[in-house]
């Protein structure tokens, strides 16, 4: 797998199909007023999107978030 290529899918569906399905599920749950299901579907949508991101970009974002969390924890302590 190269950077920016979609990960293999055990469902056999491509990246675009999985992303569209997750978005549809999220919107359907929102229209039903099912907030927990909508939150889960949007989380799945973001995970599918993130699978296409550059690994170094994801790592840098994670490091930055960890530093913010450490600063916030230090302020509370």
Provide the domain count of the chain. Answer: 1
> Which residues of the chain fall short of a pLDDT of 50?
1-3
pLDDT for residue 39: 97
**CA 27/CA 32 separation, integer angstroms:** 9
pLDDT for residue 76: 87
Secondary structure element (H or E) that encloses residue 46, with its range: helix 35-50
pLDDT for residue 52: 87
Closest of 16, 41, 19, 45 to residue 31, by C-alpha: 41
Q: Is residue 3 part of a domain?
A: no
Q: Is residue 33 part of a domain?
A: yes
**CA 59/CA 51 separation, integer angstroms:** 12
Q: Is the dihedral of CA 11, 13, 18, 24 positive or negative?
A: negative
Supply the pTM of this predicted model.
Answer: 0.63
Domain that holds residue 40: 15-76
Q: Specify the residue for token string 């907030």.
A: 35
């Amino acid at each position: 797998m190269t950077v920016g290529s979609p990960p293999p899918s055990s469902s056999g569906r491509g990246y675009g199909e999985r992303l569209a399905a997750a978005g549809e599920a999220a919107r359907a749950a929102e229209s039903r007023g099912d907030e927990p299901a909508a939150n889960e579907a949007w989380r799945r949508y973001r995970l599918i999107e993130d699978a296409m991101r550059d690994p170094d970009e994801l790592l840098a974002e994670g490091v930055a978030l960890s530093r913010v969390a450490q600063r916030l924890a230090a302020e509370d302590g």
